[in-house]
Amino acid sequence: MPFKAGNISPDNQERINKILEVIIAYAGLDFTKKTEVKGSDDDVLDAIGAGVNMLGEELQTSTISLKEKEHLLKEIHHRVKNNLQIVSSLLNLQSESIKDPALLNLVTASRNRIHSIALVHEMLYASVDLTNIEMGDYIKKLSNNIRNSLSIPGSDVQFEFEINPCFLDIDRMVPVGLILNEIITNSFKYAFPNGKGIISIGIHSLHGRYILLIKDNGVGVPAGFELEKNSNLGLQLIKILTEQINGELNINFENGFSYSITFN
């Protein structure tokens, strides 16, 4: 026989409301509330209340366990970031005693690559869900760091950003961060001999895929330039990392350099 609303006495309606309040509190992860259980025979509301109380106890344990795991994950990101920063700082110290410009370039490039990964962990550590990073924020921080690292006195390289809000997880963020680092670094090193220029960075999503566009308005390449024959480590890295995220890479060097990377 159905339990019809018309059959409910005012007292029982009050008890049902209280049980509902407790359920709503549990839904908000507040486990301090309990329903009152009288322990009387054949009282269905007593039984429902007891069931809700026990459910709350079980959920509370699971929630605490989940919070402990989140805390642990946060701690791991924090430590990874700190350790990578130590390595980066060591390379920085080392670079102060290097006189050979070629060797100095290599050390600086390595330091920036490490920083691009450390930044992922730093931002994951500070993120709400410890899983995804807002791309725009990351791109701006990374770009500024590269400029601080590679700018020469008197230079004026500006960034233009056109970024749609999007989030990436760590599996894609690390390769994408390294790709950005290589491309921006290449522009700083080769595109602006007079120290002045603009690097445009955009990211958009289309039909479930992301399109990352990086372009500089620099000098481009000399006539007869062949990309395959002049491929440096940076470009090789860009290709490998694009494959890692199952992306497609297109490079155009007609007016400055522009890169387009499409990935899921």
Partner 1 sequence: MNTLIPPANALNLTSFKTWMGDDGICRTVTKELAEINLEQAMENSVAVSSLYKDRKFPLLIDARNIKYMSKEARKFFSTNGRDIKITCFGIMVKSPLSRVIGNFFMGLNKPEIPARLFDSEADALQWLKQYR
What is the contact surface with partner 1 in residues (CB under 8 A)? 37, 39, 41-44, 46-48, 50-51, 53-55, 57-58, 61
Question: 58 vs 169, which CB is nearer to partner 1?
Answer: 58
Q: 20 or 64: whose CB is closer to partner 1?
A: 64
Least separation in angstroms between residue 57's CB and partner 1 is 4
Three-state helix/strand/coil letters over the chain: CCCCHHHCCHHHHHHHHHHHHHHHHHHCCCCCCCCCCCCCCCCHHHHHHHHHHHHHHHHHHHHHHHHHHHHHHHHHHHHHHHHHHHHHHHHHHHHHCCCCHHHHHHHHHHHHHHHHHHHHHHHHHHCCCCCEEEHHHHHHHHHHHHHHHHCCCCCEEEEEEEECCCEEEHHHHHHHHHHHHHHHHHHHHHHCCCCEEEEEEEEEEECCEEEEEEEECCCCCCCCCCCCCCCCHHHHHHHHHHHHCCCEEEEECCCCCEEEEEEC
Query: CB 55 → partner 1: shortest distance, Å?
Result: 8
Q: Give the nearest distance from C-beta 25 to partner 1 in angstroms.
A: 17
Specify the residue, 47 or 240, whose C-beta has the smaller distance to partner 1.
47
| Closest CB to partner 1 among residues 42, 254 | 42
CB of 41: closest distance to partner 1 in angstroms? Answer: 5
Give min distance, CB of 13 to partner 1, in A: 18
